[in-house]
Structure 1
């Protein structure tokens, strides 16, 4: 009798705490997408089974699940059904509409046009070496009223003539044609008439002077007649500045700058004056001290920008800030000078994060994140730790961090990879973006849900940073 009573109590206890069906992604039951696939994320209680369109979903040991599926054109209906051991059934219906009609369709074809002068219509117009609005193709940032020779278009980009067989690309929306003033002559009856539009004539852009600034020797200054296109390319050891279209069309002036260890630099152009500043290293092997190393920790996302959401419902922004605080305390314990772009749950724009790091004259910038995948990828096939860098000088830091983090938290080491994220593009600091684990992969869930995850992540970042400094000195 006592055993029966205990069994009844056990069943009542578990039936009263039975959880509702939890699907953490998609966040809405009515979704319109322009891809050919989608995935579902969520968690499954030990006392229940979940089916998606009658197909049993197998969770990981942490009870997290992901389900990846292809989509047909138009409406796709998914019934997600939970059945528990007491016979209770709950079903959620998701309507996913695949609509590619609004997806940008580009014809990858160059349309040549007669050469004309254009000018940039705003500051920081990105000059690229390919007509693609992404990736590792940035050459420089042009100020407003930079004069450009445009000879054609491709998709949403205008092609810029730089030299023989050398071209750059800017967004067509960022430039406007420079009107050509047509000459007027007198006709036979003494009336003024406009001539036919003249052929394109190149106007020379002359270097007036160049060299180190006498008041500030850290500045190397090139003064030209007007703003002109330039590129700034680094291989991690030196920076090559190229200035285009000078005394004659296609002429290039180049200058190499040796970066040294912990190389950082900046460049600005205004009214034809190009200032290149190679920043001195704050640390050397002979006088090294952690106190001279300024580190900015960037906890990704925050406020109404949640970031990724994991299978078990964890919000990326919360994990990021927890790790950031532990890393700050650890670095300060070892006498590093440390700053944070955010110290609480608040939204901080990407530009403000960059500006903050520059204002602190940071040597190192570490942005902390957890990874996710686009809906076109299968979450179950993506796992591990990866550290991104943009500037070649940061590659070795990214590698050391990936090595030590993966050891500490037990993830697959995916190494260092170059990528164009806004917070790590600046050359004024050595910046990396850390993706510790995949929130969307059920197999990574036990790692990031561990109560030791933040501590171990901070330890891995600290060890990687120390290794990088010691090997670079």
Structure 2
């Protein structure tokens, strides 16, 4: 298979290395990818990235004090940089450790409504919402993909979860599942949308990996490859 991908110029060495790593990982998808042209080349899908939580809402916290919101953002920024290097249009619901409201007027609902508005406004958007799981005990581990009820979401979710297992977590025995109706964003978006729980903040092995730049980059690239694979398949609805 061949890739028709426009490459943006790398401004520095780290960007080049990220792109090189991205290329290597994307080659692993070659057996399942058709010719891929990015949204920059043919007006295709826009990748909408939602790093969960942020600001006063740190999400789950590990026993070592690591915040879910920080890990979510780290993976999301790597995903954004890799996607934009390959000419894919991206939209972020946040780009730093902040949220819609401040400590004095904190409203989780207002923040979720604001994020959903951003997501639904993105032309031809497909959403990846990045989160981490947590459990009262340390045993549970591994990624979990939840998909929205909107058209295309189940296919996107099952594809992404399968790629995570093949390339990152062969021991993972979970399957992609429908998102709970109580999850505001996935319940209210009108485009393909998945929520990816990358691992467990409560599991020592998971949190060790999730805090390393190499694993964050690898996870981001698998998400990017899944997005490209999903976007290139015109039979997916």
| TM-score, structure 1 normalization | 0.37
How far residue 458 of structure 1 moved from its aligned partner, in angstroms, is 0.5
Equivalent-residue separation in structure 1 for 2:186 and 2:145 (angstroms): 11
Q: Out of 190, 194, 211, which is 1:428 matched to?
A: 190
Cα contact 1:405–1:459 (8 A) shared by 2? no
Q: Out of 164, 180, 201, which is 1:405 matched to?
A: 164
How is 1:418-457 mapped onto 2 (pairs within 5 angstroms)?
418-419=178-179, 420=181, 421-457=183-219
Counterpart position of 1:469: 231
Q: Out of 335, 353, 369, which is 2:87 matched to?
A: 335
Equivalent-residue separation in structure 2 for 1:336 and 1:356 (angstroms): 17
Cα contact 2:120–2:189 (8 A) shared by 1? no
Cα contact 1:297–1:340 (8 A) shared by 2? yes
Cα contact 2:148–2:192 (8 A) shared by 1? no
Counterpart position of 2:26: none
Cα contact 1:402–1:413 (8 A) shared by 2? no
Secondary structure of the residue that 1:308 maps to in structure 2?
coil
Which has the larger strand fraction?
Answer: 1
Q: In the alignment, does 2:48 pair up with 1:296?
A: yes
Cα contact 1:409–1:447 (8 A) shared by 2? no
Larger radius of gyration between Structure 1 and Structure 2: 1
Equivalent-residue separation in structure 1 for 2:138 and 2:219 (angstroms): 22
Cα contact 1:295–1:339 (8 A) shared by 2? yes
Q: Out of 144, 147, 166, which is 1:389 matched to?
A: 147
Equivalent-residue separation in structure 1 for 2:116 and 2:75 (angstroms): 20
Cα contact 2:145–2:195 (8 A) shared by 1? yes
Counterpart position of 1:151: none
How far residue 288 of structure 1 moved from its aligned partner, in angstroms, is 5.7
Which has the larger helix fraction?
Answer: 2
How far residue 425 of structure 1 moved from its aligned partner, in angstroms, is 1.7
Counterpart position of 2:175: 415
How far residue 289 of structure 1 moved from its aligned partner, in angstroms, is 4.2
Cα contact 1:388–1:398 (8 A) shared by 2? yes
How far residue 286 of structure 1 moved from its aligned partner, in angstroms, is 11
1:111-141 superposed Cα distances (whole Å, 9 cap, x missing partner): xxxxxxxxxxxxxxxxxxxxxxxxxxxxxxx
Counting matched residue pairs gives 185
Distance change in 2, residues 1:286/1:451 (3 Å): closer
Equivalent-residue separation in structure 1 for 2:167 and 2:184 (angstroms): 28
Equivalent-residue separation in structure 2 for 1:370 and 1:470 (angstroms): 28
> Which blocks of at least 5 consecutive residues in structure 1 are unaligned?
1-284
Equivalent-residue separation in structure 2 for 1:413 and 1:337 (angstroms): 33
Q: What's the C-alpha RMSD, in Å, of the aligned pairs?
A: 2.3
Counterpart position of 1:310: 62
Counterpart position of 2:96: 344
Structure with higher RCO (Cα < 8 A, 6+ apart): 2
Equivalent-residue separation in structure 2 for 1:353 and 1:346 (angstroms): 12
How far residue 449 of structure 1 moved from its aligned partner, in angstroms, is 2.8
1:406-448 superposed Cα distances (whole Å, 9 cap, x missing partner): 3443362523110222111235211110001111112323321
Distance change in 2, residues 1:413/1:361 (3 Å): farther
Secondary structure of the residue that 2:97 maps to in structure 1?
coil
How is 1:180-259 mapped onto 2 (pairs within 5 angstroms)?
none
